[in-house]
Structure 1
Amino acid sequence: MNTFLKAAAAFSTVSSLTLWFLYFTLYWFRREKFAGAGRYFDEATLVVHHEQTGVLLLPAVVLSVIAVVLGRGLLKTRPGRIAGSRLEADAAQAADDSARG
């Protein structure tokens, strides 16, 4: 199960980063230059860019959310390796020790 979570989290992370990269390189910098038909012709590179590439934002966001949720699931399965939870466990142990006297 842990291996599956690692693989799914890695796949989601790589896929979302790829889609974010494509979104910013293909759409973001040209978003104000599209004509009424949703096209922009870049004369320097002779490439026609389409406004539909902005749809890349949807799967990028979804895969980012999935990566975060799976990453949090991985962190919860290994609490001894997280500094924050180790500190909390040490504080709880110290409180128990002081209560016992």
Structure 2
Amino acid sequence: MKKAVKAVQGPLVAANEHYHCARSVARNGAIKHASALARVYVRNGDANDEVDALALALHDIRRMRQQSEGIQPHREVHYALREDDGLEPATSGAGLAPA
């Protein structure tokens, strides 16, 4: 049961984070959100310094905007690598979870 919970938990957390990022950027603007997010990264030790924290925050906001526009680079790479291995690209999420 633990593996099933983890398989569901990751996408739910990602969707929740996407929602909060999108709402905060819409309400507060990208600069204010990025600055606050950078402070969280510094406080939590997720960045080496303030510049690294700002770069991480900017990347997160850009990624959220890509996702909002339907851009899926990880999916594109996943399909390409499957083709390189002689496999057909998956057409759904079925079978993508690790065994």
- If you compute each CA radius of gyration, which structure gives the higher value, 1 or 2? 1
TM-score tier, shorter chain, comes to 0.3 to 0.5
Which structure carries more relative contact order (alpha carbon 8 Å, separation 6+)? Answer: 1
- Identify the structure with the greater strand proportion: 1
- TM-score, normalised by the number of residues in structure 1: 0.34
